[in-house]
Structure 1
Amino acid sequence: MKSTSLSYPFSAAIDRLFTCLRLLFSAILLIACSPSQELDVAWGNRASVLLIGNGDEPQSLDPQMAVGSNDFNIITALFEGLTDLHPETLDVVPGVAESWKVSRDGMRYSFYLRNDAKWSNGEPVTSKDFLFAWERALNPKTASSNAPLFFSIKNAEAYNTGVLTEFSDVGVRALPSRLEVTLESPISYFLAQLSHPVFFPLHKDVIDQHSDDWTRPGNLIGNGAFTLKEWKLNKWVSVKANPHYWDKQNVHLNGIMFFPIEDRFSEERAFRAGNIHLTCTPQMAIEKIQEYQRTNPELLQQTPVYASYYYDINTARKPFNDARVRRALAMAINRKQLVEKVTRGGEIPAGTFVPADPHIFQARHRLRFDPENARKLLTEAGYPNGENFPVFELLINNGEIHRKVATAVQQMWWQHLHIKVELRNMEWKTFINAQNNKDYTVSRAGWIADFVHPNTFFETLLSNSSNNDTNWSHSGYDTLVNLVRRSSSDAQASELLEKANRILLSEVPVIPLFYPSDNNLVQRSVKGWYPNLLHRHPYKGVYLSSDD
């Protein structure tokens, strides 16, 4: 997609920064600035512009169509929902809604919008903007992969699946200065769920006028702390402070620049050279982690993250339509060896798809490394010692860690099952399209929680979930997971999810590998950037100190 290049009015120093970064991203040199020129981070500190390594090139800046964390990192700067999450505690805090009331039965929510909430063009944000956005997200023609997050709202699922054709039947009402929402049943995490970008409001006139081009610079109108300034494909996305943002007095940055650096080694070199303030690629090279632990531990943020790294299996393809084959593959992987010898970044071996949380879900049953029983299962499926098992592809996206993990798993499957696997590497956008179109046999996958509740993982494998890329469907599993939304207590939810987990362990539509750990580098000058389980970092509290 082409982008409109706009000038970035931060003095002539920006020209030197862009010259340096072009050299970095062309992978010819690191930064060819002369010693007399100031480091880019030092310029950013003076100009109050945060420079972030943001992984892959963003696929979309549409809050209802984006799927990757690299997209959301930018979108959360440009838009704001009814609620937000506190950067340290992840507690729910007010966003566009300055307050809300909940009925005694927990079924009805009334959100009172701020009078000073405005779009970046100065127009007021109204309840109708939320109504339009939510109708668009649920419209089957939109095909938003995150539409199922709305299904706790009355009749939202029925409208999304075409059972109901009138959005007026959905439990959302736009009233003067407030939005009223009626649920199918009470759920404890609804307020936290509303902080997800799919619930953000949208400016209807902009979308009507520009159609698919509405997210381009010069077109996009948001309501967040920042507004889109520039998007140069494969170079950077830049945003500037929104003068109409309701809480602008607490926005300390003049701008943010997001740089698509897929390779973790290049990202670390950019950080070390002083070209970026932050790295956002979670799997740093182990050698670099150890180096920073020894020499500059204050620059390294190591944080457990509520996420799962796993392999999707296309269960529609033979012989992977046989659960015995899928279980054999899962049991032939030594996860302990994987995290100790390959990733070595603080990851935790994953015996289940869903990581434990302290309140609701701690799995009582797990997958274990058991090559002997894996071989028995493969024999029962008709492939003794791997004989006549077809060679298949393992799909991964760009990234050294993905290649290393896939290579290790490839070797384990050959060693323990005599199964041959070929690795196929794709850049991010092509990779995502292949997954969405189910054009793969086995594929790398990962999920970062939308909020701190295990259902954010379990719901991705529902039969009707657009995030379910496995072609797997199980009515019993669907029933259990859907009942969690209506559970009256954490104890009841825990029992339902344990039963759902047992189905996953038996069926194995996905092969859990490990629970990731964020290993990010943060310059000393960055203040107000707090590590947390969801890797959620509101930018309005972040500031840069030139004294460090």
Structure 2
Amino acid sequence: MRKSLFVLVCFILVLGTSLTGCGNQKEEATPTANNDKKNSTEPKVLNWNLHAEPPTADPGLAFDTTAMAIAKALFDGLTRTGEDGKPHESVAEKIDISPDLKTYTFTLRDTKWSNGDPLTAHDFEFAWKRVLDPKTAAQAAFLMYYIKNAEKANKGQASLDEIGVKAIDDRTLQVTLENPTPFFIELTAHTVYLPVHKKTVVSDQNWAAEAKTLIGNGPFKIEGWDHKNKMILAKNENYWDKSAVKLDKINFSMVEDENTELSMYENGDIDWAGSPMSFLPTDAMPALKESGKLTSQPFAATYWFAFNVEKVPFTNAKIRKAFAYAINRQTIVDNVLQGGQQPALGVLPPTMALKADGYFPDNDTETAKTLLAEGMKELGISTLPPITLLFNTAEIQKKVAEAAQDQWRKNLGVEVKLENQELKVYLQNMAQGNFQVGRLGWSGAFNDPINFLELFKEKNAPNNAPHWENSEYIELLNRSGIEPDPAKRKQLLAQAEQILMNEMPVAPVYYYTYSFVHNPKVKGVLIDGLGKVDWKWADKE
């Protein structure tokens, strides 16, 4: 890759590196997993709990933390985020960029799929156009809209053949962008840009749901998948960079109860407990912190409550703001989460914040009461309809929801019913608008404000759960996309976020941190600054 390329990747976040030496681990009281043998000739096996069944292993459809992590282990892209937090050539051995910064030419290595078939540039072209095909309904398709005609094709306004991606030959992929995009190389490391095995995908629509039909090109291959129970990954001997892969296997369990998971860790049955694939019991956090076993790591992500703006009473912006202002974020961070999180007073995390002090005060009860009364008057109602807060099954999600429920009752006099659902069902209902208020979070695919703000650009976009739309907001985002001056672009994006917070389709609650405990014999697990986990370089001494 040309040296000048990293000047273009101007928003790279370098928070995450190998976890070697991370935290204040105490050597004398560390559990050891069952597979950690003294004999160095024994296979190196990492034992990990996923908390929940991955909704899919298809990289084009992966959208939650679990699915994207599994896809990252099983597949490899043109680039891959390295241990230094920056994108590096992976399947692509060379990247050339045109003088106008709009055409990228990727020269591929001689690589293979896990079944031994050759991997070609045609696999990338097929995979990307499949993601952008409206029939695929890929939630992350918008991350490809920087490619020429990608957005139009995804909306049925252009043919797939008009998309600016073309395999020139088996080892050359040419990509043409709509506009210069300084973070495009970073994007090519995202799971939605990963290739898929065309023959398998075309022949079996459920190819990514079973171990026997799943063909990848990543550092690991899938060896077994007992649904909702366990998954086994093994080192892929056909991986181009197999010498960098030190683990022989990863055994994943799927235990939802956080207390059981922590007990498994303490008994040596797993090597890691907590984030990024699961959670630690909140009751155990103080003792783990006091013992020095707890590691906390911030990353670019925001937790918020989404309001369905098409369902009364959240059709009214003042009522949405009333619910947002009535939340005591500091109390939730200090007394519920206990993992070093920060209260969120805007949608953008600190690494890309446009207004450092936020857009509203935390726990502004009096303003909240006034806004609620005004909003109800505007709607012509004297009492609120029954309100339900939806969240996915997990102890920490339940406790955050209970805290918000209690605060809304005390600060606004509003009763809110809580409803939890299994992850896959919950994600489906949020995407389909089957909710009033729902908990959501967003972890950046790249470290630039547009990646958060574009979620709310169009009401029918797959990831715009509130179904909110504002014409002035859309215009500001469109102008930012073609503005060459970074300072002016930042001003446009700041104006857009101000509109978003004035309308409040989502109520930011906190900025994420990961909290976990791990066997210090496990080294090299990469958690990057965007919260993505990669086991490629993991080792177990």
Q: How do 1:49-64 and structure 2 match up within 5 A?
A: 49-64=45-60
Q: 2:143 is aligned with what amino acid?
A: L
Which residue matches 1:149?
A: 143
Report the TM-score, using the length of structure 2 for normalisation. 0.89
Q: Which residue of 2 aligns with 1:48?
A: 44
Alpha-carbon distance between aligned partners in 1 of 2:265 and 2:493, rounded to the nearest angstrom? 42
Does the 8 A contact of 1:347 with 1:514 survive in 2?
Answer: yes
Query: Closer, same or farther in 2 for the Cα pair 1:532/1:128, shift >3 Å?
Result: closer
Q: Does residue 274 of the first structure (1) align with residue 268 of the second (2)? A: yes
Contact 2:200 2:207 in 1 (8 A): no
Residue 417 of structure 2 is matched in structure 1 by: 422
CA distance, structure 1, for counterparts of residue 452 and residue 223 of structure 2: 34
Residue 516 of structure 1: SS of its match in structure 2?
strand
Q: What amino acid maps onto 1:175 in structure 2? A: I
> Residue 9 of structure 2 corresponds to which residue in structure 1?
none
User: Partner residue of 2:167?
Assistant: 174
SS state at 1:40 partner = coil
- Bigger drift between 235-244 and 491-500 goes to 491-500
* Residue matched to 1:114: 109
User: Quick one: structure 1 residues 114 and 280, their matched pair in 2 at CA, closer, same or farther if it must change by over 3 Å?
Assistant: farther
Matching residue's letter, 1:100: I
SS of equivalent residue, structure 2 residue 350: coil
Q: Which moved more, 1:349-358 or 1:505-514?
A: 349-358
Aligned to 1:454: 449
Residues in 2 aligned to 1:365 and 1:348: alpha-carbon distance in whole angstroms: 12
Q: What is the Cα deviation at residue 280 of structure 1?
A: 4.2
Shift of 1:39: 5.0
- Give the whole-Å Cα distance in 1 for the aligned partners of 2:453 and 2:51: 26
1:348 counterpart = 2:342: yes
Identity %: 33
Listed one character per residue, the Cα deviations across residues 394-421 of structure 1 (whole Å, up to 9, x for unaligned) are 1111111111111111111111111111
Q: Is the 8 A contact 2:444 2:530 kept in 1?
A: yes
In the other structure, the counterpart of 2:88 is 93
When normalised by structure 1's length, the TM-score is: 0.88
Residue 331 (structure 1) shift: 0.7
Q: Could you tell me whether the CA contact under 8 Å between 1:153 and 1:181 is conserved in 2?
A: yes
Structure 1 counterpart of 2:453, which letter?
Answer: F
Amino acid at match of 1:424: E
Q: CA–CA distance in 2 between the matches of 1:378 and 1:303?
A: 37
Q: Which moved more, 1:303-312 or 1:272-281?
A: 272-281
> Following the alignment from structure 1 to structure 2, what is the Cα–Cα distance between the partners of residues 280 and 74?
17
**From 379, 386, 393, the counterpart of 1:398:** 393
Q: How does 1:266-415 map to 2 (within 5 A)?
A: 266-281=260-275, 283-295=279-291, 297=292, 299-357=293-351, 361-363=354-356, 365-368=358-361, 369-382=363-376, 387-415=382-410
Q: Distance in 2 between matches of 1:422 and 1:129?
A: 48
| TM superposition shift of 1:481 | 2.5
Structure 2 Cα separation of the partners of residues 127 and 237 of structure 1: 30
Q: State the superposition RMSD in angstroms.
A: 1.9
Distance 1:364 1:494, change over 3 A: farther
Do the aligned residues in 1 keep the contact of 2:33 with 2:270 (CA within 8 Å)?
A: no
- 1:443 aligned residue (438, 444, 460): 438
Answer yes or no: is the 8 Å Cα contact 2:526–2:537 preserved in 1. Answer: no
Task: Answer yes or no: is the 8 Å Cα contact 1:52–1:280 preserved in 2.
Answer: no
CA offset digits 1:167-197 (Å, max 9, x no partner)? 2211111112111111110111111011111
The Cα of 1:459 is off from its aligned counterpart by 1.7
Instruction: Determine the C-alpha separation between the residues in 2 that align with 1:331 and 1:53.
Output: 36
- Residue 219, structure 1, aligned to residue 221, structure 2: no
Separation in structure 2 between the aligned mates of residue 367 and residue 40 of structure 1, nearest angstrom: 50
Note closer, same or farther for the CA distance 1:454–1:294 as it changes in structure 2 (3 Å cut). same
Within 2, Cα distance between the matches of 1:537 and 1:486? 32
Larger displacement relative to structure 2 (59-68 or 277-286): 277-286
Q: Distance in 2 between matches of 1:81 and 1:215?
A: 21
1:313-363 Cα deviation digits (max 9, x unpaired): 1100011101011011111111111111221211100001111216x7344
Say whether the 8 Å CA contact 1:331–1:374 is kept in structure 2.
yes
CA distance, structure 2, for counterparts of residue 76 and residue 133 of structure 1: 15
Shift of 1:536: 2.6
Shift in Å at residue 383 of structure 1? 5.5
Query: Is the 8 Å Cα contact of residues 303 and 532 (structure 1) preserved in structure 2?
Result: no
Structure 1 position 513 matched with structure 2 position 509: yes
Q: Matched residue of 2:396: which SS?
A: helix
Q: Paired residue for 1:235?
A: 229
2:197 counterpart of 1:203: yes
Q: CA deviation at 1:367?
A: 2.2
Question: Residue 533 of structure 2: SS of its match in structure 1?
Answer: coil
The alpha-carbon distance between structure 1 residues 65 and 39, as it changes in their structure 2 partners (threshold 3 A), is: closer
CA–CA distance in structure 2, aligned partners of residues 530 and 245 of structure 1:
19
How far apart in 1 are the matches of 2:525 and 2:197? 29
The residue aligned with 1:32 is none
Structure 2 counterpart of 1:260: 254
Q: Work out the CA distance in 2 between the residues paired with 1:82 and 1:52.
A: 27
Q: Aligned residue for 1:194?
A: 188
One-letter amino acid of the structure 2 residue matched with residue 415 of structure 1: K
Q: Is the 8 A contact 1:391 1:419 kept in 2?
A: no
SS state at 1:42 partner:
coil
SS of the counterpart of 1:63?
Answer: coil
Q: Match for 2:57: what amino acid?
A: L
1:4-19 matches, cutoff 5 A: none
CA distance in 2, matches of 1:483, 1:118: 42
Cα distance change of structure 1 residues 456 and 262 upon mapping to structure 2, 3 Å threshold: farther
Partner of 1:305, secondary structure, is strand
Contact 1:364 1:498 in 2 (8 A): no
Amino acid in the other structure paired with 1:203: H
CA contact (8 A) 2:45 2:251 kept: yes
**Greater mean alpha carbon deviation, residues 430-439 or residues 257-266:** 257-266
Which letter does structure 2 place at the counterpart of 1:495? Q
Alignment pair present for 1:504 and 2:486: no
Using the alignment, how far apart are the partners of 1:154 and 1:148 within structure 2? 12
- The CA deviation string for residues 254-307 of structure 1, in whole angstroms up to 9 with x for no partner, is 111222232322221111111111224354234433323333x2x432101111
1:151 Cα offset (Å): 0.4
Query: Equivalent residue of 2:463, what SS?
Result: coil
Cα distance in 2, alignment partners of residues 495 and 225 from structure 1: 42
| Contact 1:74-1:258 at 8 Å conserved across structures | no
Asked if 2 retains the 8 angstrom alpha-carbon contact of 1:55 and 1:259, the reply is yes
Counterpart of 2:529 (choices 530, 533, 538) is 533
126, 131, 135: which one pairs with 2:129?
A: 135
Q: Which structure 1 residue ranges, 5 or more long, are not aligned? A: 1-37
Distance 1:416 1:287, change over 3 A: closer
| Conservation of the 8 A alpha-carbon contact between 1:239 and 1:256 | yes
Q: How far does residue 462 in structure 1 lie from its aligned partner after superposition? A: 1.8
Task: Give the secondary structure class of the aligned counterpart of 2:211.
Answer: coil
Query: Alpha-carbon deviation of 1:518?
Result: 0.4
